[in-house]
Amino acid sequence: MISVVIPTLNSAAALKGSLAALIPATMQGLIARVVIADGGSEDETELIADSTGAEFVRARRGRGYQLAAGAEALKNRQQAEDWLLFLHADTVLQKGWEQEAASFVAQAHDDTAAYFSFRFDENVWQAKIVETGVFCRCALLKLPYGDQALLISRKFYDGLGGYAGLPLFEDVDIIARIKREGKLTRLRSVATTSAARYKQNGYFPRVLKNFGCLVSYYRGVAPEKILEKYQ
């Protein structure tokens, strides 16, 4: 059984698509619960969560805090053999993803986690170049970001200590611990992510900004300070 945690912040427009992609897996009994971990939305995010039967929990703003809060809300209702799927609100999983995920879960060891292949929701040449860069980063460095989702067993997640209370780079932090303690697998199924931030800033300026923020993180700059540049 898989429980899904989705962090949100004024995500009503995107949330419908990400939730719709979970319906087949829910109908098949693969997904047990969906938790929306909200950081203080002022739009219809909570209404959408309620209308779809998802659980709604309020958390401190910041993806790391919200992801941790969502997982914590599920803790007493999950078995050690259950799995968690952490999914961004603006990410839509490919049709049929549940078949590959079910196969992975059935064969995986406790110390194995998985992420999805990456694609933008815009079909332009700039997007294709960035997608190729993401593929190379994952192939060479085994460094997927949170918009590629994360499928991990409850037992492994708890053993790692879960998501850290970080406002930024919570995905880089937990991936480092996963690689240190276990194995990370790429699924062929695609996670299609919104390109809105890239279109707003320009694809290549956005890539450079992200890279600069990542370098600052590895140099030990506090994520709270990096967040000011990232947004």
Q: What is the pTM of this model?
A: 0.95
For 220, phi then psi, to 5°, come to 95, 10
- The one-digit pLDDT tens for each residue of the chain (231 residues) are 899 999 999 999 999 999 999 999 999 999 999 999 999 999 999 999 999 999 999 999 999 999 999 999 998 877 767 999 999 999 999 999 999 999 999 998 889 999 999 999 999 999 999 999 999 999 999 999 999 999 999 999 999 999 999 989 999 999 999 999 999 999 999 999 999 999 988 999 999 999 999 999 999 998 888 887 776
Separation in Å, CA 171 to CA 64, 67, 70, 147, 162: 8, 10, 15, 9, 11
From CA 215, how far away is CA 147, in angstroms rounded? 19
- Hey, where are the domains in the chain? 2-230
Rounded to the nearest 5 degrees, what angle is found at the Cα of 124, between the Cα atoms of 130 and 196?
A: 70
Domain 2-230 sits in CATH at 3.90.550.10
Structure tokens at 130: 């960035």
From CA 136, how far away is CA 186, in angstroms rounded? 12
Q: In angstroms, how far is the first alpha carbon of the chain from the final one?
A: 35
The packing angle between helices 45-52 and 12-20, to 10°, is 20
pLDDT digits (tens, 9 = 90+) for 148-190: 999 999 999 999 999 999 989 999 999 999 999 999 999 999 9
* Cβ-based neighbour number of residue 149 at 10 Å: 26
From CA 160, how far away is CA 154, in angstroms rounded? 10
Mind giving me the DSSP string for 120-168? Answer: ESS-SHHHHHHHHHHHHHHHHH----GGG-EEEEHHHHHHHT-S-S-SS
